[in-house]
Amino acid sequence: MSRIAYVAGQYLPHRLAAVHIEDRGYQFADGVYEVIAVVDGHLVDKERHLTRLRRSLAELRIARPMPDSALTIVIREVVRRNGVDTGIVYLQVTRGAAPREHAFPKAGKPTLVVTSRRTRPPDPKLGQEGIAVITIPDIRWQRCDIKSVALVANVLGKQQAKEAGAYEAWQVDRDGRITEGTSTNAWIVTADNTVVTRAADTAILNGVTRAAVFEILDRAGYRLVERPFTVAEAKAAREAFLTSTTADLLPVVRIDGAPVGEGRPGRLSQELRAAYFAHAAAAP
């Protein structure tokens, strides 16, 4: 089946789908995106993703390409045309095409691209054995709360992790505190079983998976504290894990080569991982 993309008003085969060379997404990374999981044909946490998209657009003063009701129809149609049962939807909105000049163009309309593809379920070994992370300086801009397509620092960080044989790089701010991964949120569990993750300030993306895990913790009666934590605290934590739409929830068992806890996925991480899968599977 050839893949179909929605590009600026049309459903097109990928090889014909294109945006203008003067699209501001291409020239300035002047745009935002979302990645939504598809599980058994259902969109996981769609409302949260669309709410965050609206926020990102508003922060950058980019017009909404269409109302959420119409956008939902486009998303579902792209999923259907690509025969995606389990996979992802990628959605990108830029300020549109205009002659290159930094300030906003007077006229012009946003470019919307929606694609979807099947993905293999993540390797179960990652969940069973846990993953390694490295720590790197956070060299990104000061508005990481906006889900901007300007991801070159994240790209460099993820590549560094890969070359070090790790799954992810946890970025560290100037005060030695972890902000987040290059495409995931970072969490630890302290000796007294308190779950800790950085508050959703402008230094991190307010993850949709993060919000779902908050609900799970609340329902199960676990203690959650939103505060920054240092690299040293993470290394000494009882458990650590990361979350994202594409990684789900993965136990972190090594940080910069040193074991976290007993160097095995912790009990709470495993429990939360199972609860998150149940949440995703229950998507309407």
Q: Min. distance of Cβ 36 from ligand PDD in angstroms?
A: 9
Dig out the tokens for 216 from the structure. Answer: 């799970």
With 0-12 / 13-18 / 19 or more C-beta atoms within 10 angstroms meaning exposed / middle / buried, residue 103 is exposed
Q: Which of 213, 157, 146 is nearest to 183 (CA)?
A: 157
Which residues does residue 178 pair with via DSSP β-bridges, in sequence order? 172
Q: Which of 127, 114, 106, 95 is nearest to 34 (CA)?
A: 114
Strands 4-7 and 31-39, by their bridges, are unpaired
Residue (4 or 204) nearer to ligand PDD, CB: 204
CB 167 within 8 A of CB 126: yes
Please state, in angstroms and rounded to a whole number, the distance separating the CA atoms of residues 26 and 33. Answer: 13
Residue (115 or 209) nearer to ligand PDD, CB: 209
Given the residues 147, 158, 162, 235, select the one marked as catalytic: 147
Could you list the residues that contact ligand PDD (CB under 6 A)?
35, 154, 180, 183-185, 205, 207-210, 243-246
* DSSP character at residue 97: B
Q: Min. distance of Cβ 39 from ligand PDD in angstroms?
A: 14
Residue (244 or 270) nearer to ligand PDD, CB: 244
Q: Min. distance of Cβ 1 from ligand PDD in angstroms?
A: 23
Residue (50 or 260) nearer to ligand PDD, CB: 50
Dig out the tokens for 141 from the structure. Answer: 């801009």
Q: Min. distance of Cβ 106 from ligand PDD in angstroms?
A: 31
Q: Which of 53, 89, 97, 57 is nearest to 73 (CA)?
A: 89
Please state, in angstroms and rounded to a whole number, the distance separating the CA atoms of residues 191 and 142. Answer: 32
Residue (115 or 244) nearer to ligand PDD, CB: 244
Residue (116 or 185) nearer to ligand PDD, CB: 185
SS3 17: coil
CB 231 within 8 A of CB 111: no
Residue 158: active-site member: no
Q: Min. distance of Cβ 262 from ligand PDD in angstroms?
A: 27
Q: Min. distance of Cβ 107 from ligand PDD in angstroms?
A: 30
CB 36 within 8 A of CB 44: yes
Active site residues: 147
